[in-house]
Amino acid sequence: MGLPLRKSKVDAPPPICPLTECMSLLRGAWAPNVIWYLSAGPRRFGELRHDIPRISARVLSARLRELEGKGLIGRRVLATSPPSVEYTLTALGHELIPAIKAIVEVGTKLKAQVHTKRRPAGK
């Protein structure tokens, strides 16, 4: 028999947890990468494929549609022949950049720490 469930001592949670809501914006493979590369300015589909070489066209297309639907990026059809599309971050998308930068900083430290631990002694 399992342990009895204890009641939470936290005040009533907000209707939607702000942390969960924010993390749902970044969920999905490659979404943070797409936001990161758009932070420097507008990019076309092919440019994003070049920026993120391991992403497939199908997944990139899905992420762009998803991020556009969430209001994080904007899509503008350029009057070129053949027509081209340019993606940019919205104001909401730009608000995520400090959080992504913080994650990158921690990731860099973790990567350095792992690299240091893997070095053989005496080198």
d(CA 47, CA 11): 47
Q: Is residue 87 assigned to a domain?
A: yes
**Sign of the CA dihedral with 30 first, then 36, 37, and 41 last:** positive
What pLDDT is recorded for position 118?
A: 73
What pLDDT is recorded for position 13?
A: 64
What pLDDT is recorded for position 85?
A: 95
What pLDDT is recorded for position 5?
A: 85
CATH (domain of 90): 1.10.10.10
What pLDDT is recorded for position 6?
A: 84
Domain span at residue 88? 24-118
Q: Which residues of the chain have pLDDT under 50?
A: none
Percentage of the chain modeled with pLDDT above 90: 61
Q: Is residue 80 assigned to a domain?
A: yes
- Split into its structural domains, the chain has a count of 1
Q: Is residue 91 assigned to a domain?
A: yes
SS3 sequence of the chain = CCCCCCCCCCCCCCCCCHHHHHHHHHCCCCHHHHHHHHCCCCEEHHHHHHHCCCCCHHHHHHHHHHHHHCCCEEEEEECCCCCEEEEEECHHHHHCHHHHHHHHHHHHHHHHHHHHHHCCCCC
